[in-house]
Structure formats: C-alpha cells, structure tokens
A = this chain, B = another copy of it.
C-alpha cells in the first residue's frame, strides 16, 4: 500500500515537535515523545533511528521552509522601504506559523554556533552584506538618516522575532491573553516596518 503521509510517522513528528519545543532537545525524552504519540518507544527508533535524527528532522523540516523565503526577501531588487516590509513579513509570518522555531534556534545556536548555522542555511547564507550595502547607499545619498547598517538590521530582526521568544513574559507581565498576543503579532507585520521607516526617513 502506498502510504498517504504515513499516519504513524506524522503522529510521531507532531508529538516530537510539541515536546521538543517545550523541553528542548536535551530535556525531552524518547519515552515522553512515544507516550504522547501513543506508541511504543521502540517504534520511534524504528522510524527515526536516533534522537538526534528525530530532532534534526523535526527541526529542519520547519526551518528549511523558511530559509529560502528569507534569502529571497533579502536578495530581491526592490527599494529599501519595500524590502524592509518584505523581510519583516517573512519573519513574523514564519514565527506565527511555527512559534517554537525561534526558541529552538536560540537554544541550539548557542550550543554549537558554527555547526548549527551551517546546517541552518545549508552553507548558502542570506545575503546580509547586500542588504547592508543597500542601506549604506541610501544613507550616503542622504535618502535616510545616518545609521550603521548593522544596527538597523539588528533592530529589524529583533523587533520581528523577540516577542515570540518572550511570549510568556509578555503574556504574564503585561497581562494579555493569547488571542490578544496573536493579534498584536499580526499587527506587527505592518507596525514594525512603519516603526523602522518612521525612524530612518528624513
């Protein structure tokens, strides 16, 4: 029988994604994942051989969908304001779709920086230098206020992703519930570019 996205495999991936995102790679146990998937632990190994492979599959399955979108948003030949909007949209939509990915990335990137980054982009990084050059050009031409490109890029990425990393803090600290949070994030697709452009436009 030709398997239609093999149900067991899918159940496992779903459970693993869930557990990994809460407990992290080290904190999660194979037994836990098996339990949540409603199967025997040995079956995990039957499908994914090892914990490392399972983690990689869960993780990169999501991330690799995003990587080309970001690369594309950065490489496109559009004016700076439009590009800022495109990049913010790419980041925020990704995070809304996969809220655990940013948490994963922060955890892993600080454990094995070089290896992880290489895996993340498959050796084919988004062209940040190009973006930096574009910013510098606008600054030099007096089209936007003077700002170091690196600082601007950091600001942009920060505002897009950080709220997802600290969601629980915002939810508790600001007393906002999950739907409100979701809404705030949706608004940010427009708000963040606006905030940036308001800051740099002359």
Binding site for B on A (CB under 8 A): 21-27, 103, 105-107, 109-111, 113-114, 116-117, 125-126, 128-129, 132, 145, 147-148, 150-151, 153-155, 157-159, 161-163, 165-176, 184, 187-188, 191-192, 195-196, 198-200
Contact = CB atoms under 8 A, between A and B. Distances in A.
Q: Determine which residue in A150, A167, A175, A187 has the highest number of CB atoms from chain B within 10 A of its CB, and name it.
A: A150
Nearest to A167: B110
A173 B27 contact: no
A198 B109 contact: no
Given A113-B172, A128-B173, A24 B107 contact: yes
Copies in the complex: 2
A117 B173 contact: yes
B168 A158 contact: no
A49 to B, nearest CB: 21
Secondary structure class of chain A's binding surface, majority of residues = helix
A186 to B, nearest CB: 12
Most chain B beta-carbon contacts within 10 A, residue among A116, A155, A200? A155
Scoring A25, A105, A173 by chain B CB atoms within 10 A of each residue's CB, the highest score goes to: A173
B109 A107 contact: no
